Amino acid sequence: MKRLRAGLVGAGLVGQAEHAFYLWEDRERFDFVGLADASVAVRNALGARYGIQQLHADLPSLLKATKLDALVIAAPDPFHPDLAVTALEAGLHVLCEKPLSLTLSGCDRIKAARDKAGKVLQVAYMKRHDPAFKNALDLLPSKIEDVKLISVEVNDPDQNPFVAHLPMTVADDLPAALRDQFRTANTAQLRESAGRDPSAAGARALSGGFLSSLVHDVGVVHGMLAHLDHQLPAEADHGSFFDNGAGVELGFGLPGGGRVRMTHLNLPGVPDYTERVTVYCIDRIIELVFPSPYLRNFPTKLTLRKGGDNMALETQEFRVSYEEAFREQLRAFHAAACGEAPVKTPLEQARRDVEFLISAYKRAEP
């Protein structure tokens, strides 16, 4: 098996809790040789923990110092386009966290760089690699018209209760100039996507609720629709936000009179993570209940309910695997980068997700 020399840029929450660990652990596929992060404390901690050879404050310094085959981007959302373009132009395969960009123009910049470089660009929709999700696809009906409702409900508290057991290093030494750069880029990109300056609640809903949170579940639904040979629409027909932007909702219709409705709420006062995707079909109900993404090897619950003889209800629960979705995602990335498999979560789908989520925000704050 070919071993890819891999780097990671951005070692914040998901970078530390997931990507760094699995890059280090999967030595058969990856040689984790480089880290770029602006925090000295984070660089030193992860360098010591995982034996990383090259530790740098930014991506250009890392690329100048060492040869890489692949890069995982887990930096803040506004930096995704610049980092992805830089990596692709350097000839690297890229796994980029979602959302791919906060703007459609950012997605298009990345696409142009990918097409020119001829390299793999995979978007990090880890739930699409969850064994239970893949099993759920096989339980779907044969045609989209048999789906009457897809209901998504997410209660997402702050992450601290779910990463407190992990060796996390706080980046409390970030340069002031980088913080200013983040704020400037974030504000400009949200303004571009909104078409004007959003309200404070609208900005929170657009960036935090729609593009950075509900994007996970749009990716799940997108995967289900693709399995049924149906495209995610470019626009939602409903979008709203509530609780000063901490909660968001969206919806759209399906062929045959069905519907999709999705709700995401940030409720930090209750440390209970709930993410439920339920597919109501004419002859079955398929339900996925995802755990917090930071709990490793904690299986997603998959349940199938169908009618039996004499109006009986038949219920099946599937425990497909204890395999971790983040590890499976990296394996899929490796296979695509080595030309052994197609990209399962491509740029084109991610761009449609961004377009769709922006449309939901514009329904909420026209």
Q: Per-residue pLDDT tens for 164-213?
A: 999 999 999 999 999 999 999 999 999 999 999 999 999 999 999 999 99
| φ and ψ at residue 142, rounded to 5 degrees | -80, -20
- The span from the CA of 287 to the CA of 12, in Å, is 31
Give the residues across from 290 on adjacent strands: 275
Q: How big is the chain by its Cα radius of gyration, in Å?
A: 20
Write down the pLDDT at residue 48.
Answer: 97
CA 12 – CA 74 distance, rounded (Å): 7
Mean pLDDT of the chain: 97
Judge whether residue 74 has pLDDT over 90: yes
pLDDT for res 182: 97
Domains of the chain (ranges plus CATH)? 4-126 (3.40.50.720), 127-324+347-364 (3.30.360.10)
Contact 198, 365 (CB under 8 A): yes
On the question of pLDDT at 308 being above 90, the answer is: no
Name the strand (E) or helix (H) holding 154: strand 147-156
Task: Check pLDDT > 90 for residue 311.
Answer: no
Largest CA-CA distance found in the chain, in angstroms, rounded: 70
- Residue range 48-63: mean pLDDT, rounded: 97
Residues in contact with 243: Cβ distance below 8 Å, sequence separation at least 6, in sequence order: 265, 266
The predicted model gives 280-306 an average pLDDT of: 96
* Element (DSSP H or E) covering residue 289: strand 285-290
Q: In the prediction, which pLDDT does 333 show?
A: 98
User: Once rounded to an integer, what is the mean pLDDT over residues 17-22?
Assistant: 98
Q: Does the pLDDT of residue 158 top 90, yes or no? A: no
276 alpha carbon, distance to own chain's centre: 16
Q: What are the tens digits of pLDDT across the range 80-129?
A: 999 999 999 999 999 999 999 999 999 999 999 999 999 999 999 999 99
User: Is the pLDDT reported for residue 366 higher than 90?
Assistant: no
Residue 145's CB: how many other CB atoms inside 10 A? 16
Residue 309 predicted with pLDDT over 90: no
Question: Angle at the Cα of 46 (from 44 to 48), degrees rounded to 5?
Answer: 70
The answer to which of 12-26, 224-238, 302-316, 332-346 has the lowest mean pLDDT is 302-316
